[in-house]
Chains A and B, each alone.
Chain A
Amino acid sequence: MPDVEGLSWPEGDAGALESAAGRVTRLGESVQAAGSHISGIASDTAGWTGLAAIAFSGAVNAQRAELARAGSGLADAGGAVRRLARIVDDAQDRVRQLAKRVREAEDEADDAAAIATAARATADQAEASAAAANPLLGSAAPFSPEAQAAQQAIGAAAQAESQAAEARARADRIREHATARADDEVDRVKAADDDAAGVVGAAIGLAPESSAPKVGGLPGLPRDFECPLDDEGFNNLVTGMYGGVGFARFLDALARARSRGAGALIHSEALMNKSADRIRQSVNDNFDTCVPQYLDPPKPPEPPDDDWRPEWLEDVNEAYDDAVEEVGSAMDDVVNGDNPIWPMPGPGRGPRPSFGPGF
Chain B
Amino acid sequence: MDVIGLSPGPVSNVGDRLSSAGRELAGLAGQTDFGGMSEPPRTAAALDLLAGEWSAGLAASGGAISMIGRITSVTAGLFELVDGK
Chain A residues in contact with chain B, CB under 8 A?
A: 11-13, 16-17, 20, 23-24, 26-27, 30-31, 34, 37-38, 41-42, 44-53, 56, 59-60, 63, 66-67, 70, 74, 77, 81, 84, 88, 189-190, 192-194, 196-197, 200-201, 203-204, 207-213, 215, 232, 234-235, 238-239, 242-245, 247-248, 251, 272-273, 276-277, 279-280, 284-285, 287-288
The answer to whether B70 touches A24, judged by C-beta atoms less than 8 angstroms apart, is no
**30 A-B contacts (beta carbon < 8 Å):** A11-B41, A12-B40, A13-B37, A23-B33, A23-B34, A34-B21, A38-B25, A41-B18, A45-B10, A47-B7, A48-B7, A60-B65, A63-B65, A66-B61, A88-B40, A193-B43, A197-B42, A204-B46, A207-B56, A212-B60, A238-B75, A239-B71, A245-B71, A247-B74, A276-B81, A277-B82, A280-B78, A280-B82, A287-B1, A288-B1
The answer to whether A194 touches B50, judged by C-beta atoms less than 8 angstroms apart, is no
The answer to whether B78 touches A49, judged by C-beta atoms less than 8 angstroms apart, is no
SS of A interface (majority):
helix
Q: Which residues of A contact B2 (CB under 8 A)?
A: 284
Known contacts A210-B53, A251-B77; decide if A53 and B18 are in contact (CB<8 Å): no
Say how far A235's CB is from chain B's closest CB, in angstroms.
7
- Selected from A59, A74, A272, the residue in CB contact (under 8 A) with B81 is A272
Q: How far is the CA of A271 from the CA of B72 in the complex (A)?
A: 22
Say how far B13's CB is from chain A's closest CB, in angstroms.
8
The answer to whether B72 touches A215, judged by C-beta atoms less than 8 angstroms apart, is no
The answer to whether A245 touches B46, judged by C-beta atoms less than 8 angstroms apart, is no
**Centre residue among B3, B5, B7, B47 by max chain A CB count within 10 A:** B47
Q: Which residues of A contact B21 (CB under 8 A)?
A: 34, 37-38, 41
Q: How far is the CA of A102 from the CA of B18 in the complex (A)?
A: 63
The answer to whether A208 touches B58, judged by C-beta atoms less than 8 angstroms apart, is yes
Q: Which residues of B contact A234 (CB under 8 A)?
A: 68
Known contacts A30-B28, A209-B57, A248-B73; decide if A20 and B63 are in contact (CB<8 Å): no
Chain B residues in contact with chain A, CB under 8 A?
A: 1-7, 10-11, 13-14, 17-18, 21-22, 24-25, 28, 31-35, 37, 39-43, 45-47, 49-50, 53-54, 56-61, 63-65, 67-68, 70-75, 77-79, 81-82, 85
- Selected from B28, B46, B64, the residue in CB contact (under 8 A) with A63 is B64
The answer to whether A212 touches B6, judged by C-beta atoms less than 8 angstroms apart, is no
Say how far A172's CB is from chain B's closest CB, in angstroms.
31
Smallest Cβ-Cβ distance to B17: which chain A residue: A41
Say how far A229's CB is from chain B's closest CB, in angstroms.
15
The answer to whether B50 touches A51, judged by C-beta atoms less than 8 angstroms apart, is no
Say how far A186's CB is from chain B's closest CB, in angstroms.
10
Q: Which residues of B contact A27 (CB under 8 A)?
A: 28, 31-32, 34, 54
The answer to whether B68 touches A56, judged by C-beta atoms less than 8 angstroms apart, is yes
Q: Which residues of B contact A272 (CB under 8 A)?
A: 81
The answer to whether A207 touches B57, judged by C-beta atoms less than 8 angstroms apart, is yes
Known contacts A247-B74, A284-B4; decide if A13 and B39 are in contact (CB<8 Å): yes
Smallest Cβ-Cβ distance to A84: which chain B residue: B43
- Selected from B4, B11, B54, B85, the residue in CB contact (under 8 A) with A45 is B11
The answer to whether B43 touches A197, judged by C-beta atoms less than 8 angstroms apart, is yes
**Centre residue among B7, B45, B60, B61 by max chain A CB count within 10 A:** B61
The answer to whether A50 touches B5, judged by C-beta atoms less than 8 angstroms apart, is yes
Q: Which residues of B contact A24 (CB under 8 A)?
A: 34, 47, 50
Known contacts A38-B21, A242-B74; decide if A81 and B47 are in contact (CB<8 Å): yes
Q: Which residues of A contact B4 (CB under 8 A)?
A: 49-53, 284
Q: Which residues of A contact B65 (CB under 8 A)?
A: 38, 60, 63
Q: Which residues of B contact A210 (CB under 8 A)?
A: 53, 56-57, 59-60
The answer to whether B74 touches A251, judged by C-beta atoms less than 8 angstroms apart, is yes
